[in-house]
Structure 1
Amino acid sequence: MPATRMMIARRAGVSVATVDRVLRDDQAVRPETAERVHIALANLRDERASRGRPAKPNSFRVAFVLPQVNSRFLDHVERDIALSASFFREHRITPSFYRCDFSSQRDTATFAEQAVDYDALVLVPLDYPWVERLIEEMNEAGVPVVTVFSDLPSSRRAAYVGVDNRIAGRTAGLLMGRFLGARIGTVAVLSASSRLHDQLERRTGFSQVLEEDFRNLRWVAEPDFAEDDDGAGLAVQGLLARHPDLVGVYATGGGISGIASSLMESGDKARLIVVGHECTAETRAQLSGRAIDVILDQDVRGIVHWAGLAAINFLNDVRGALAIPTPETRIYLRENAHA
């Protein structure tokens, strides 16, 4: 990857506009400033050339960055990043971990100043313009960004590693429709964050299948509901009050355990089908106890590993040979809850 004007500017301690003037041989630039720019360019060329040698013995500094939101799934991801230390060491990756409040433009900009010092970023992005700008700045600085679990396809990220979330949503829709059969009623789609692209994709895929194949079911969206057990339980009770014909609940993100517990306690579970994501010890027990009907899951640690490998493949200039598989969505029912 060639040195960009932003990279040169940072190295030389000048503005991007000054770099542009030097490269255009603008004689109005002071000679000592022009010399600094040319030295910075030469050093960067040497560094980028040596970085492309696969046998280079040093390790790559990769920052793993999660949004600062309340999410059991992201807590699970954080744990698996920590538990992957030996895998990363084997593949010459020196990982660092960050939580960033991407809802804050200021915090995102502050993090960008730190992130440029890394060789690569593995990022769960939120859908904000300044997060796209962060990715663009990293790209200009020669720091590849790999999005993971949730994508930001309109950005300049180098790659996405994770399941196809629209297919996951369509799978959930098909299973919901099959479980409900010919029943007529309303299905609620609960999403914890409208800023996470994976949840939007799941909601879109789910609604597509219901509209295409299950015209007996009407769906309503409940975005930005709380993922904690109490909040999720209150949300589903509110839905029951507003929609007496409620026959199904699909949670695109977290909160499924709280939903299931609330429905069991109120005695309403017998008439509802409950579908959600993330297979944990708690949701496995709820599957066995008929509090949840379907759980969709993914290989979290494997995806973390593949994202790290994708990042260093870009750093090693491995083009067209990322060898990163498309992870499959796993389906858990009562019968295989403990498989």
Structure 2
Amino acid sequence: MASPTLTDVAEAAGVSYATADRVINKRGNVAAKSIAKVNEAVAALGYVRNIAAANLSRGRVYRLAFLIPQGPNAFFARIRQHIKDTADRLQAERVHVDVIEVAAFAVEGLQASIASLIDKDFDGVAIVGLQSDALIQPLEQLRAKGVAVVGLVSDLPQDNRLAYIGIDNRVAGRTAARMIGMAHAGGKGSIQTFVGSMDARDHAERFSGFCEVIATDFPDITVRDPIITNDDAAILKSRTATILGDRSNLTALYNVGAGNSGLIEALRASAPQRPFCVVHELVSHSRQALLDRQIDLVIDQRPDVEINRVFTVLRTLIDGNALPVLPDLVPTIYVQDNLPADTLTDQMKAQDR
């Protein structure tokens, strides 16, 4: 049986097509009695509004902005590539995207970048967030303009955004702890941790979840104070080399954030008998390090899935619809034996030729 059309709704309600269209698309200037009749007809017929057609008829353009940390971080290079690919695919649906790069872990820089959007004509914004009260005012100003704001990967202050798209980072940290604890097979140990910044909610939550599991389930393993790296590969390389030169019962390494290329370089130059090592995000250098047995495990948050969800969520919010219940984004654990095809790296290399 064919789905009911707007013509069917108009006939059932006893109103003109134009009136039914104004009610369905919330254009106003319709009598309350007619609105009630149209809504009753919609419910009775099971009519579902064709948002794409409605947007096309009124020339709707989705203007989206993504605020992404700048720099050579390979994970955010993946994010940028997925944004570009998705935006290219959605051009026919009038989706326009700007990627705005901001300094990593810089609260003032992020505050200024958010504030700069207030006078621009964006419908929706996705922001890799930090936890700071300094962000509240510009976020509130954006939302007061009717801009849909969501946190991406690392959350914003929760009362000042409409949704968060990313994994549960506390769970990701707990997973890393479980894997490292199991690798110790009941023995004692000492873990050196690295954190990009505690101002980044994803890093703080991963570290907190990690420490919870080690303290509760592996009490014979010590977690050393984290080394703050700002996700700088050079810092990771230097500090890891120093630590490996003075083993002092070191049994494991866990990097909460990025900069893993530096960590891997230091491990590559170290003695064959290295500590157990867990990092986040499957990118070209962490993938190769798994294959070369320089690290043991990668926890990946599937940025392709996250970016697809961001576009869906922003467009739903902009259209004024309630968000559906979405399944949790679950991180994927990779070892050298279950690596997927490296299609994204091949694609990016091809574009560079």
Amino acid at match of 1:283: S
Unpaired stretches in structure 1, ≥5 consecutive residues: 1-47
The runs of at least 4 aligned residues of structure 1 exceeding 4 Å deviation read: 48-53
Amino acid at match of 1:108: Q
Among 254, 276, 281, the residue aligned to 1:278: 281
Q: Whose relative contact order is higher, 1 or 2, with alpha carbons under 8 Å and at least 6 apart? A: 1
Note the 1:1-339 alignment, pairs <5 A: 49-50=26-27, 54=51, 55-57=54-56, 58-68=60-70, 71-101=73-103, 103=106, 105=108, 108-109=111-112, 111-116=114-119, 117-240=121-244, 244-267=248-271, 270-319=273-322, 321-338=323-340
The DSSP-based 3-state class of the residue aligned with 1:188 is: strand
2:139–2:161 CA contact under 8 A, matched in 1? yes
Q: How far off is 1:49 after superposition?
A: 4.8
The DSSP-based 3-state class of the residue aligned with 1:63 is: strand
- Tell me whether 280-289 or 195-204 shows the greater mean CA deviation: 280-289
Instruction: Give the percent of matched residue pairs that are identical in Structure 1 and Structure 2.
Output: 26
Amino acid at match of 1:152: L
Cα separation, partners in 2 of 1:132 and 1:209, compared to 1, 3 Å: same
In 1, Cα distance between equivalents of 2:27 and 2:281: 42
TM-score where L is the length of structure 1: 0.78
Amino acid at match of 2:278: V
In 2, Cα distance between equivalents of 1:283 and 1:97: 25
The DSSP-based 3-state class of the residue aligned with 1:181 is: coil
1:286–1:292 CA contact under 8 A, matched in 2? yes
Q: Deviations over 1:250-302 (max 9, x none)?
A: 111112232133123121x5241000011122212211221010001122122
In 1, Cα distance between equivalents of 2:88 and 2:128: 22
Amino acid at match of 1:295: V
Amino acid at match of 1:293: D
Q: How far off is 1:192 after superposition?
A: 1.3
The DSSP-based 3-state class of the residue aligned with 1:335 is: coil
- Tell me whether 72-81 or 118-127 shows the greater mean CA deviation: 72-81
Q: How far off is 1:111 after superposition?
A: 4.5
The DSSP-based 3-state class of the residue aligned with 2:160 is: coil
In 2, Cα distance between equivalents of 1:285 and 1:113: 40
Q: How far off is 1:236 after superposition?
A: 1.3
In 1, Cα distance between equivalents of 2:137 and 2:255: 30
- Give me the CA root mean square deviation: 2.5
2:136–2:160 CA contact under 8 A, matched in 1? yes
Q: How far off is 1:153 after superposition?
A: 4.3
Unpaired stretches in structure 2, ≥5 consecutive residues: 1-24, 29-48, 342-353
Q: How far off is 1:196 after superposition?
A: 1.3
1:84–1:301 CA contact under 8 A, matched in 2? no
Amino acid at match of 1:332: Y
Q: Deviations over 1:217-261 (max 9, x none)?
A: 010232421534332111112334566121101111112232133
In 1, Cα distance between equivalents of 2:314 and 2:252: 40
